[in-house]
Structure 1
Amino acid sequence: MSRFPVRRRSAAEALSAAATRRRTAPELRNPPLDYAYDGSFEGLLTVVFQVYDRKAAPNSIQPLGAVQVGLFAQPVQVDTDETAAARVWDGLLRYMDKEARTRLFHAFLSEVPDRELLIFRYADAAMRAGRDIAENYADDNVRRIQRLAQQMYREKHRMEAFVRFEKTSDGLFHATIEPDFDVLPLIAAHFTKRYADQRWLIFDRRRHYGLYYDLHRTDIVQFDADTAPQRRAAVSATVLDEREPLFQLLWQSYFDHVNIPERKNIKLHRRHMPLRYWKYLSEKQPREQPFQPINNKRPVQPGGPALAAGGEAQG
């Protein structure tokens, strides 16, 4: 008989252990398939659900508009199922924390050509390991997801800093952007909180959709190619508020006067404010009137009285 007492687990501890037990992903023993989906993130999660339901690994996962059909195989078209997508999204938390799961969404927004397979391989590896693999940098999928998440983070913060609104005649504040990645879903909360007292629209010219805030909620709005706002100058010439040119002139004047020519460093400036953003920045547009520095310094006259630190002349 053992001299040491045996500690028995309580019913609550047993239930907790059972709840946190992680099941590994099922074996994908059927022949691989090509999958096609509608291009949405929910659609991709539905494809992941179908992969394990069919037990058939993906040869490829392609949006419907970009499907490349093979000679002998037709892709399996997967219709988006929000219930299945939510089940997959919630189930990922058994194998990774929320931050790691969010990185998968950011990788999807990066729009890299093979992002669907990359996300699937990362999720599949985590499920087969039965744990979070975010620190396993020996895995190429982990490194790529981490790198894409960092690029998205930088682009998100640049958009939050570089968006310039113009007021239209009906009181709407409009801004056009053209980011490298699809960052509108990531900046919506920032602008909704910061500009909660005004109506605004941020339009992504490259992807033909935008965010619209109506003082109550922020919605995604779609534009056709024919009706979408074009260049910044075209919008300004037709619908700008009559005071907007003055606001831009004041902003440009402020920018010019806080600038210190002696400390100009173009290389550093372009690193923090890349050239591709300049066409949408008010301070980078041609000046309607040349910049004149403020002439508020009195020259020291030869032989004149010197000013002491306190401002009084020394006699």
Structure 2
Amino acid sequence: MTTLQYDGTYEGWLTAVFDIYAYKLEDVVFNKPGASSGLMFGSTHRVITDETKGERVWLGLQKRLSADGLKRLYKTFLADFEKPEETMWHFVRHVFNNSHNVEEDYSHPAVWEIRKTAKRVDREVHRMEAFVRFKLTRDHLYYAIIEPDCDVLSLISNHFESRFADQRWLIYDARRRYGIYYNLENVTTVAIDFHQGRATSNLIAEISDEREEFYQDLWRSYFKSVTIAARKNLRLQLQHMPKRYWKHLTEKMSKG
């Protein structure tokens, strides 16, 4: 068995697929930076990300998959569950082994898993678009901290760029320690190493606009006033807004 050591990017994974065919590798597993070193027995193939190789694989997939099929494959990569690359590889191999489109071939486990995983990512995208709560810093930067299950920043950037085109903002993924920043012209990816704890809380308090606490209180009051106690359904609320998101929601934060 061969461990494919790649850089953890989608382009790197596409390059790895190219190498599988180029070197006729069998029984492969994929390994990202920071993961365990691989198998105790077997060989390691180090993948050097190559734009040309990745593009050849991508063009081959474009000829065999619809635009939605390509998106589902990419979303599976962003799902961030255990070893999505293996599922993606089994799917891609099935695609290349057939002359017809296999997107609806649900008898194949990888096809069904890709479809199911893409829907899971879509749900996470909708939740992030609905649950992101911005706060204002003293230099008029709106920032939000999120911790999504899936790596969805690249999928939500267009939504926030079009919706908040007239203000600078930063959305930071605390789980993956990077963010997307909009400077009134375009969105860029930024790496920030925040550390959880009192120091971070103090820093946020220092950089926050003095009116921010007032606006948060106003929003909490509004949320409370529109809540009809008799119609409160905690089970339904948890279904649409899981508790793991609450700590970054203004209306769910207790003052102080």
TM class by smaller structure: over 0.9
The corresponding residue for 1:68 is 37
The corresponding residue for 2:209 is 241
Instruction: Spell out the pairing of 1:139-288 with structure 2 (5 A cutoff).
Output: 139-224=108-193, 228=194, 230=196, 233-287=201-255
Deviation at 1:72, TM superposition (A): 4.6
Identity of aligned residues (%): 42
Deviation at 1:208, TM superposition (A): 0.4
Q: Which runs of 5+ in 1 are unaligned?
A: 1-31, 289-315
Deviation at 1:74, TM superposition (A): 3.2
Structure (1 or 2) with the greater helix fraction: 2
Count of aligned residue pairs for this structure pair:
254
TM-score, normalising length: structure 2:
0.94
TM-score, normalising length: structure 1:
0.77
Bigger relative CO (Cα 8 Å, ≥ 6 apart): 2
CA contact (8 A) 2:31 2:38 kept: no
Bigger drift between 125-134 and 185-194 goes to: 125-134
Question: What is the alpha-carbon distance in structure 2 between the residues aligned to residue 114 and residue 242 of structure 1?
Answer: 45
Q: Secondary structure at the match of 1:86?
A: helix
Question: What is the alpha-carbon distance in structure 2 between the residues aligned to residue 177 and residue 165 of structure 1?
Answer: 10
Letter in 1 for 2:101: D
Question: What is the alpha-carbon distance in structure 1 between the residues aligned to residue 238 and residue 55 of structure 2?
Answer: 42
Letter in 2 for 1:57: E
Letter in 2 for 1:211: I
- Change over 3 Å in CA distance of 1:258–1:52 after alignment to 2: same
Question: What is the alpha-carbon distance in structure 2 between the residues aligned to residue 139 and residue 164 of structure 1?
Answer: 40
Question: What is the alpha-carbon distance in structure 2 between the residues aligned to residue 189 and residue 229 of structure 1?
Answer: 28
Question: What is the alpha-carbon distance in structure 2 between the residues aligned to residue 76 and residue 269 of structure 1?
Answer: 48
Letter in 2 for 1:172: L
CA contact (8 A) 1:229 1:235 kept: no
- The structure number with the bigger radius of gyration is 1
Instruction: State the Cα RMSD in Å.
Output: 1.6
Deviation at 1:179, TM superposition (A): 0.6
Question: What is the alpha-carbon distance in structure 1 between the residues aligned to residue 244 and residue 254 of structure 2?
Answer: 16
Q: Secondary structure at the match of 1:56?
A: coil
CA contact (8 A) 2:124 2:148 kept: yes
Q: Which runs of 5+ in 2 are unaligned?
A: none
